[in-house]
Amino acid sequence: MKNLTLGLGLRFLFSRKRVGFVSWSAVMAMLGVAVGCFAVLTAIAVLNGFTTELEDRISGFESDFRIADVSLNIQHQDEIRSALASTPEVENVAFYLERKGIVIRDENRQLVSLKAVEPEKLGSVYHFIMESELERPLEKSGIMMGTELASRLQVKPGDKLRLVSPTSGQLALGFPTWGDVEVQGIFRTGIPIFDDRVCFISMEMGRQLFRAGSDVDGADFQLQDGAIANEAVEKFSAALPEELTITSWRDHHGILFSAMELEKLVGTIVLSLIIIVASFGIASTLIMLIMEKVREIGILRAMGATRRKIGRIFAFQGILIGGVGAAAGLIFGVTFVLAQMKWGFLKLPETIYLVPAVPMTLSVGDVVVLISVAGAVISLASVYPARVASRLNPTRAIQFDK
C-alpha cells in the first residue's frame, strides 16, 4: 500500500496531462527552496568564517587563557610553573606586566597600554607575532606597536620614541618619564583596539618603568595544538591555589561574540524567509494539482482509498517538490563553500580585511539544523493541501467538471 501511495504521487506529479502553469509552479517552488537553502548555508558559512578568523586573531594576541586581576608574587609564579609541569596540555606561559603609559613622538602623544613580557615569549605564546615582523629580538630599549598607532605617530622600525609612566622617575617639572626607546617591530592584527592601543616592551624595561619589583600583573598561557581547551583548563586550574582564577579571551570579549551570534541568528532567520516564501509556492502548486485531479481523487475514494491515503499522496508530492529543491540547494551550497575554503576564488582587498579571500567555515551542526528547518517548513506547506484533498466528497469529485 505504501508503494501505491508513492506510485500514485509520482504519477499525479509527472502526468502528461498536467497543466503547464502547474508544472512551472512546481519548478519555481523547487528553485525557491534551492535558492533559500543555498543562501542560508553560504551566509552561515561566511559568518562562521569571519567569527573563526576573529577568534584566531584574538586568541593569537591574548593567548588561549590567562590569570589576571591579581598581583602574582614569586610564590604564585612558582606554583604556576609547578602546575604547568604537571599539565602537559598547557605548553607555555608568559608572565607579564601591563600598565597605562604615554608614547611621545615630537609633539604627538598617545595614551597606550604597555605590556611587558620576556622577549622570547613573543613568538611562542602570542601567535600573531612572527619573527619576520621584528627587526631583531626585542631588546631592553625596544618597543613593538600596532600599525594604527605607528601610523598616528608616523614612525617606522628604527625610529626613536619616549615612554612616560606614572610610576617612573620624576622630571624637574614633576612629570614621570622614561628615556628614549627604539621601534623594533610593527604588528597588525586587524583589530583596532589592539593595533591602536597596545605596545609590547621587554620585561626588564617594564620592571624599571613600572617599579614592579619581582611581582607581575598576570600570566598568559598557550595550549598545545589539538588540546581540548575546557579539559586542559580544568585540569590546570585544579593544580592552582584557589585565589588564582583563570579567564579566557572569550570572557574578556563576551559582548563582541554575543553580538556576532545574534547577527548570525538574525541573518539566518531573514534568509530563511526565502524558504518560507518558496513553501507557499509548494502549497499553491499542490492546490492547483488537486483541482486538476479532483475526478481521479473521487474515483480513488470510491474504490476504497481512505482519506489518510489520499492525504499522504499529496503530502508526498509536496515533500518531493521541496525535498528536491532543498537537496539541490544543499549540494550546491556545500560544494560552493568547500571550493571557497580550498581555492578562495572570492577575493577580498587584503589591505582592508587582512584576509585574501572570503573566509568560510562549514559546520555539520549548522547543516543539520538547516535540513531540519527546511524539512519542517516543507512538511507544513504540504499539510493544508493534503487535508483539502482528503476531505473531498467522492460523489461530487467524480461529477466535477474541469
> What would the pLDDT profile of 281-340 be if each residue is shown by its tens digit?
888 888 887 777 777 777 777 777 777 887 787 788 888 889 999 999 999 999 999 999
Q: pLDDT category, 131, cuts 50, 70, 90?
A: very low
Cell representation of residue 255: 559582548
State the pLDDT at residue 389: 76
Q: pLDDT category, 76, cuts 50, 70, 90?
A: confident
Distance of CA 8 to the CA centre of its chain: 46
Q: What is the mean pLDDT of residues 268-277?
A: 88
Q: What is the mean pLDDT of residues 131-137?
A: 59
State the pLDDT at residue 172: 42
Q: What is the mean pLDDT of residues 10-22?
A: 53
Instruction: Give the distance between the most distant pair of CA atoms in the chain.
Output: 109
Q: pLDDT category, 22, cuts 50, 70, 90?
A: low
Q: Nearest 5°: CA angle at 332, between 326 and 333?
A: 85
Q: For 331-364, how does the pLDDT look when each residue is reduced to its tens digit (9 = 90+)? A: 999 999 999 999 989 998 877 777 888 999 988 9
Q: For 202-240, how does the pLDDT look when each residue is reduced to its tens digit (9 = 90+)? A: 998 888 888 778 889 999 998 887 566 778 888 888 888
State the pLDDT at residue 174: 55
Q: What is the mean pLDDT of residues 30-47?
A: 93
State the pLDDT at residue 97: 92
State the pLDDT at residue 329: 95
- Assess whether pLDDT exceeds 80 at residue 72: yes
- Assess whether pLDDT exceeds 60 at residue 12: no
Domain boundaries, the chain: 2-58+256-398, 70-244
DSSP 190-228: S-HHHHTTEEEEEHHHHHHHHT-TT-BSEEEEEEPTT--
What is the C-alpha separation between 349 and 352, in angstroms, rounded?
6
